[in-house]
């Protein structure tokens, strides 16, 4: 089946709405020497910082579920962090507060808005690299 082409060009995303402004010198960091590590039941988060930009690698073991492992830490009903993530291994099921669900598998890139739960499916650990949302992940929510 042929795809329909339109004359309108696709709208280009504004990089400043997704990532912190990138400036400075060439730099490479490794999660094995993370700037910060946060541990929680059945998982851990490793953060590397490039100035204002923070990249996180989450390693989630079978049995991990946000509502069981992180909810008490965050003190919110669902995960309120937005995520833009690359799925390295395992299967992560994400369920939005409105009931929408998806399974993310190795090689997937997902955009997850605030207001969700997530859990590991099966017996393989999930590894994700998140380019947005991990700076405030697995820490107590600020009350205003």
Q: What does the alpha-carbon distance between residue 82 and residue 86 come to, in Å, rounded to a whole number? A: 13
Phi-psi region of 13 (alpha: psi -120 to 50; beta: other; left: phi over 0): beta
pTM of the model as a whole: 0.79
Q: Which pLDDT value is given to residue 63?
A: 97
Return all residues near 94 (Cβ < 8 A) that are at least 6 apart.
Answer: 101, 102, 103, 104, 110, 112, 116, 117, 118
Instruction: Give the start-to-end residue ranges of the domains of the chain.
Output: 34-130
Q: Which residues pair with 25 in a beta bridge?
A: none
| Exposed / middle / buried, residue 115 (Cβ in 10 Å: 0-12, 13-18, 19+) | middle
Q: Which pLDDT value is given to residue 29?
A: 95
CATH: 2.60.120.10, 3.30.200.20, 3.40.1160.10, 3.30.470.30. Which one for 34-130? Answer: 2.60.120.10
pLDDT in tens, 1-21: 444 444 444 454 444 445 556
pLDDT in tens, 21-69: 666 788 999 999 999 999 999 999 999 998 888 999 999 999 999 999 8
Q: What does the alpha-carbon distance between residue 12 and residue 8 come to, in Å, rounded to a whole number? A: 12
């Amino acid at each position: 089946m042929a795809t329909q082409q339109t004359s309108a060009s696709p709208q280009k995303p504004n990089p400043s709405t997704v990532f912190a402004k990138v400036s400075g010198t060439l730099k490479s960091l490794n999660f094995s020497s993370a700037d910060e590590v946060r541990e929680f039941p059945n998982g851990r988060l490793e953060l590397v910082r490039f100035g204002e930009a923070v990249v996180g690698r989450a390693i989630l073991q079978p049995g991990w579920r946000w509502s069981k492992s992180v909810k008490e830490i965050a003190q919110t009903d669902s995960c309120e962090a937005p995520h833009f993530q690359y799925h390295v291994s395992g299967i992560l099921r994400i369920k939005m507060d409105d009931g929408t669900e998806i399974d993310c598998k190795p090689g997937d890139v997902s955009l997850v808005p605030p207001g969700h739960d997530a859990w590991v499916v099966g017996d393989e650990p999930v590894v994700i690299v998140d380019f947005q949302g991990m700076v405030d992940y697995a820490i107590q929510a600020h009350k205003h």
